[in-house]
Amino acid sequence: MEIYFYFRLFPKAGENKKMRTSLKFQWLSSVIFLYLVNQAHGQKRGIPHDLKCITHNLKVWNCSWEAISRINHGTTYEICILNSSFSCIQTEKTHFEIPALSLVDHEIKITSMHVSGNSVTKFILNERSVSLVPATLQNFNLTADFSTSTLYLKWNDNGSAFPYHSNVIWEIIVLYKEDMEVATVALYNTTLNGKDSVHHWNWTSDIPLECILHYVKIRYYIDEFNFFGQREWSEWSPLKNISGPPIKENYKAFPEDRVVPVGSNMTFCCVVQEPVLTANFGNEKCPFFYIDNKSVAIQINNITVSPSGGTNVVFTTKSSVCGTVIFAGYPPDIPRKLNCETRDLKEIICSWNPGRPTGLVGPRDTNYILYERFSGRNVKYIRDEEQMNENHQLIFQMIAGQEIYNFTLKANNPVGRSEAVILVNVTQRVYPHTPSKLIVRDINSTIIMLYWHLPGNFANINLLCEIEINTTYSGKELRKIIVKGLETPSYYVSVDKLMPYTMYTFRVRCSSTNFWKWSKWSNEKQYLTMEEIPSKGLDIWREWSADGKSIIIYWKPLSIIEANGKILYYNVSYWSEEEPQYHSEIPDSQHKAIIKLDRNDYIDYIISVVAKNSVGSSPPSKITTMEIPNEDLKVEQIVGIENGILFHWNYDPNMTCDYVIKWCNSTQSEPCLIDWKKFPANSTGALIEYDHFQSGTRYKFFLYGCKNQKYQLLRSIVGYTKELAPSIAPNFTVEDTSADSILVKWEDIPVDDLRGFLRGYLFYFEKGEKGTSKIQGLESGRPDVKVKNITDITQKTLRIVDLQGKTGYHLLLQAYTDGGVGPGKAMYVVTKENSEGLIIAILIPVAVAIFIGVVTSILCYRKREWIKETFYPDIPNPENSKALQFHKSICEGNSTLKTLEMNPCTPNNVEVVETRLAAPKIEEDTEIKSPVADGLEEGSDAEPENHVVVSYCPPIIEEEIASGVGEEAGGSSQVIYIDIQSMYQPQAKPEEELEQDSIGGAGYKPQMHLPVTSTVENISAAEDLEKTSGYRPQTNVNAWNLDSPDSPRSIDSNSEMVSFGSPCSINSRQFLIPPKDEESPKSSNGGWSFTNFFQNKPND
């Protein structure tokens, strides 16, 4: 019994998107179920399962399946493709090959034939279930360049085996070290084109190949778009290795003498037999590491430019060293400013700037090759060591008949290469050589022939040449001419429009008409042209001598252009209508002639002057000797402008010839002439410019007009081109001095020193001591300096008035022009002493003093009483007091006077006139007694015969005094105080004011208000009053007898006026210093008042 198993091969999960949409889920489930059943029974009977198909070239499919080996032994398989022309095949193996099938599903029947029985297995197979796995690359070539540590890989892609064009990705892996460490992984893309192609790949190792073994393997992947199955990588190729060359020395460092770009990272290694102690890169010590047991290495990053001899790398061991040299530099720059041109149309010179130095020298330096594409020719640059950093150039020989060249300049060195391209038409890049061998030939006085030598073959082009013509008086002139190119180097041109007898300097340069560059200028060639007759007449003028006995003819020499040759001499001739012509020859060195003529003859002569050279004479110049007089002539002033002096005049149609302006220095003696200029007859102004005009110099100008060949002086002018300040100070002196004035006189400043038109003087003067002021300090801006501006230039004297006598003054005089103020001359002057003023100064104070004395005396006389009372009051002398003396006129022999008789009574009143501590001095014949004592001596004969009664009415203040003595007397006592000061007042003061006045006043107090209470109190009050009061006429009150009887009173008992006793009595109440005028007002105090001094008294 045969069991059929149906299998359908499906593509992998990655291809599910490409399955047909007609498959349904039920069919998929049935197939899976049958497959599982088939697997179960197949394993028991060796039935095939897991059929897989791959293809290497898209032409043949290689299929295989899985079977148990113990059951598979002795089994034969028959493989048939149903519904196909493919014949069934039998094999004992578990794989087979069939041609590539179409995209549709194909049923594969595999019959397993075994002694135990047969079984049939069917598979559904299509292209989507087939994997494209390229064949393993077995053969490839691996080589190495040990000088650069580069591996080179070469292989054949076997592209003829593939029917389609396909993209291929190659994966290359480089391994090194014993543990197969990956050095690099690279992908390389190619294309299969139906033919076998050889491919190349290279890789440079960081580690020198000599130091360690490197391995390479490769696989590839075909990306075929026409294949719908799974695409996979091929298997890895067998490993291939490359070993270093045999090392002859035990100690060797790598790489050797390598040239690398600046900035590279490199590994240096050394093969040693013993441990390495140190490793150095140049002067720097570097860490090292072991690659294997025999190789040690160092890693250097970002290598800088090495010196010209390279950088040393050294490994040191205990017994030896190994090392190498590295050269680091830059790749060549693209050649800059590449330029190709020709100088003679025979060879092309290409030049360029190499740009940045590479840092590599010698055999490692940059090589240049100039390649011409059209001809295929090239030229190699031969280096000039002296021009390493300058422009380089190559010479390329031109090819006959070729005008356009395509050059490529290639530059390369061990670390890189570059190139530059230029396309040139040599006929437009002509830079001729420098013309040489200039020769000049005369044709006539204005035309010459110029020859020069220019190497090169310019027969096919025209040359543009430039001739520089230079003269000392007219400057440079450039003339361009076109010259037909020649095969020969000789060229010539004619140069016209030259000046006769003129020294010219010629030089030439050339280029092509298709201008590219001028050649360099040739050397200069000087040449003097031929002479010609003078082209212009002389400019002449005449001046009479000071004595009028001769006339001087002046002329200006002709310029080189006008002379047209060397002037040999001048021919001067003169004549008049009455006299024949006279001739004289004047040598060229002289430009004037003196003719003996008398101005007073009034004969008009005609004078003619011509210049003579080797070819001929100039046109004659004529002038007459007579002048037209001008009576109305004034001297004018003028000042120039920046570049000269400008003159103006009115147009005069009568002037038929010309105008002449002559000038000379104002200080020059006659004849006055420096120069002159002529102007056309129709002009109305002129600007005189003269190189020798000097600022600050006065010149005389004369304007002449010409009428019918005769001149007339029109204007006489003095002026300056520019005014300056005077150079010296005016010389002035002091002519006279007085007590209040100074007269100064000065002189004119010479014209040469004035340097401008005088506009005035500035006179400064200042009062001060000698040596205390400087000239610079005398300025008008200071308040103590006075200035006078003298604008009248004819004034030569100045009187300064209103000065002080015997006083010093600083004087300064300056002159000024419109150009500024000149220096000043300083002088110090002292004015004379003023005698009248001195007398007046003495008399006035004396008169004032006398007047004041007289007025004072009058006032003092009129106010003598007031002055005496105020300043010198009368102080009574008690010895001279009338009250204490008994004069005979009063007390004796005068019956008219009555004496107060003291009756023997007991007084009950005590009238106190004044109290005083010390009793005043009393004459010896005066006796003071109390009334009581007088009463006891009734029988005494001492009583005076006559008595004087004085009446007065003082204010009396009565105050009862309690006295023990009074009580003993058996009666009451009353004390009457009489205040003398109150007698001078119109009203009585209160008691308190009287006390204050008595204490505070220090003047004379004839009588005081003295309260008497007891003897002790009286003594105490007397002591106080003695300290503050003045003179007291009465005696001490302490000596008074209070027990005296009552004093007699006036008959009128009601009156306060009491009158008793005579002035000689001690009981008298008569005032010792009565006022002269009781109605006169008195001051309340004894002080002085200024108003009282001028107040008149009524009785004065």
Spatial distance between the Cα atoms of 928 and 1049, rounded to a whole number of angstroms: 20
Beta-carbon contacts of 711 under 8 Å, excluding residues fewer than 6 positions away, are 624, 627, 628, 660, 704, 705
Assign 668 to helix, strand or coil. Answer: coil
More confident residue, 84 or 394: 394
Over range 388-408, report the average pLDDT: 88
Which residue pairs from 713-718 have beta carbons closer than 8 angstroms and sit at least 24 positions apart in sequence?
713/627, 713/630, 713/633, 714/630, 714/649, 715/633, 715/636, 715/649, 716/633, 716/634, 716/635, 716/636, 717/635, 717/636, 717/637, 717/638, 717/647, 718/635, 718/636, 718/637, 718/638, 718/666
**Position 546 confidence tier, pLDDT thresholds 50, 70, 90:** confident
**Position 5 confidence tier, pLDDT thresholds 50, 70, 90:** very low
**Position 305 confidence tier, pLDDT thresholds 50, 70, 90:** very high
Both tokens of 952, joined, read: 């007065």
Is the Cβ–Cβ distance between 165 and 194 less than 8 Å? yes
In this predicted structure, what is the pLDDT of residue 919?
Answer: 40
Burial class (CB in 10 A: 0-12, 13-18, 19+), 604: middle
Spatial distance between the Cα atoms of 500 and 531, rounded to a whole number of angstroms: 5
- The region, left, alpha or beta by phi > 0 then psi within -120 to 50, assigned to residue 345 is left
**Position 17 confidence tier, pLDDT thresholds 50, 70, 90:** very low
Report whether pLDDT(764) > 80: yes
In this predicted structure, what is the pLDDT of residue 882?
Answer: 57
Report whether pLDDT(1048) > 60: no
Range name among 106-110, 302-306, 355-359, 776-780 with the lowest pLDDT average:
776-780
Report whether pLDDT(485) > 80: yes
**Position 306 confidence tier, pLDDT thresholds 50, 70, 90:** very high
More confident residue, 859 or 945: 859
The 10 Å Cβ neighbour count of residue 907 is: 26
Report whether pLDDT(335) > 50: yes
Report whether pLDDT(944) > 70: no
Q: Any idea of the CA torsion for 890, 894, 900, 904, to the nearest 10 degrees?
A: 120
More confident residue, 944 or 658: 658
Both tokens of 38, joined, read: 């088939």
Is the Cβ–Cβ distance between 238 and 215 less than 8 Å? no
In this predicted structure, what is the pLDDT of residue 613?
Answer: 93
In this predicted structure, what is the pLDDT of residue 33?
Answer: 65
Over range 382-402, report the average pLDDT: 80
Spatial distance between the Cα atoms of 320 and 53, rounded to a whole number of angstroms: 64
In this predicted structure, what is the pLDDT of residue 885?
Answer: 52
**Rounded to two decimals, what is the model's pTM?**
0.49
Mean pLDDT of the chain, nearest integer: 77
Nearest alpha-carbon partner for 123 in 44, 56, 57, 61: 61
Which of 76-85, 114-123, 557-566 holds the top average pLDDT?
Answer: 557-566
In this predicted structure, what is the pLDDT of residue 841?
Answer: 79
Backbone angles phi, psi at 936, to 5 degrees: -75, -20
More confident residue, 1096 or 958: 1096
**Position 989 confidence tier, pLDDT thresholds 50, 70, 90:** very low
Spatial distance between the Cα atoms of 660 and 350, rounded to a whole number of angstroms: 69
Three-point CA angle 1087, 1092, 1098, nearest 5°: 125
Backbone angles phi, psi at 992, to 5 degrees: -70, -40
Over range 173-196, report the average pLDDT: 89
**Position 386 confidence tier, pLDDT thresholds 50, 70, 90:** low
Assign 45 to helix, strand or coil. Answer: helix
Peptide bond connecting 255 to the previous residue in cis, omega within 30 degrees of 0: yes
- For 696-852, list the strands marked E by DSSP: 699-707, 710-720, 732-737, 742-746, 758-767, 785-790, 797-800, 808-817, 820-830
Instruction: Dump pLDDT digits (tens) for 244-285.
Output: 565 545 678 888 888 999 999 999 998 888 889 999 999 999
More confident residue, 398 or 28: 398
Residues linked to residue 492 through DSSP beta bridges, in sequence order: 451
In this predicted structure, what is the pLDDT of residue 432?
Answer: 95
Nearest alpha-carbon partner for 900 in 1034, 1070, 1044, 1075: 1070
Residues linked to residue 261 through DSSP beta bridges, in sequence order: 329
In this predicted structure, what is the pLDDT of residue 881?
Answer: 58
Beta-carbon contacts of 1010 under 8 Å, excluding residues fewer than 6 positions away, are 912, 914, 915, 977, 1018, 1021, 1022, 1025, 1037
Report whether pLDDT(608) > 80: yes
Bridge-based pairing of strands 117-125 and 4-8 is parallel
Is the Cβ–Cβ distance between 96 and 63 less than 8 Å? yes
Q: What is the DSSP letter of 614?
A: S
Q: Any idea of the CA torsion for 1011, 1014, 1018, 1021, to the nearest 10 degrees?
A: -70
Range name among 322-336, 686-700, 1060-1074 with the lowest pLDDT average:
1060-1074
In this predicted structure, what is the pLDDT of residue 505?
Answer: 95
More confident residue, 129 or 351: 351
- For 485-605, list the strands marked E by DSSP: 490-495, 503-512, 525-528, 539-544, 551-556, 567-575, 582-587, 592-595
- Terminal-to-terminal C-alpha distance of the chain: 202
Beta-carbon contacts of 819 under 8 Å, excluding residues fewer than 6 positions away, are 696, 722, 723, 724, 725, 755, 756
Over range 380-386, report the average pLDDT: 75
More confident residue, 817 or 5: 817
Range name among 335-339, 478-482, 514-518, 1048-1052 with the lowest pLDDT average:
1048-1052
Assign 410 to helix, strand or coil. Answer: strand
Q: What is the largest CA-CA distance in the chain?
A: 230
In this predicted structure, what is the pLDDT of residue 776?
Answer: 56
Instruction: Dump pLDDT digits (tens) for 706-746.
Output: 988 889 999 999 999 899 999 999 999 999 988 889 999 99
In this predicted structure, what is the pLDDT of residue 1054?
Answer: 44
In this predicted structure, what is the pLDDT of residue 906?
Answer: 57
**Position 933 confidence tier, pLDDT thresholds 50, 70, 90:** very low
More confident residue, 439 or 98: 439
Range name among 295-309, 632-646, 1050-1064 with the lowest pLDDT average:
1050-1064
Beta-carbon contacts of 866 under 8 Å, excluding residues fewer than 6 positions away, are 1092, 1093, 1095, 1097
More confident residue, 769 or 238: 238
Report whether pLDDT(328) > 90: yes
Range name among 520-524, 624-628, 775-779, 1045-1049 with the lowest pLDDT average:
1045-1049
**Position 998 confidence tier, pLDDT thresholds 50, 70, 90:** very low
Spatial distance between the Cα atoms of 476 and 464, rounded to a whole number of angstroms: 19
3-state class percentages of the chain: helix first, strand second, coil last, to nearest 5: 15, 40, 50
Percent of the chain with pLDDT over 70: 72
Helix (H) or strand (E) holding 853: helix 835-862
* Strands, sheet with 258-261, edge to edge from the N-terminal-most edge strand: 258-261, 321-329, 311-317, 276-281, 284-285
Over range 155-180, report the average pLDDT: 87
- Residue 930 identity: S
Q: Cα dist. 878→418, 796, 885, 1065 in Å? A: 154, 90, 9, 14
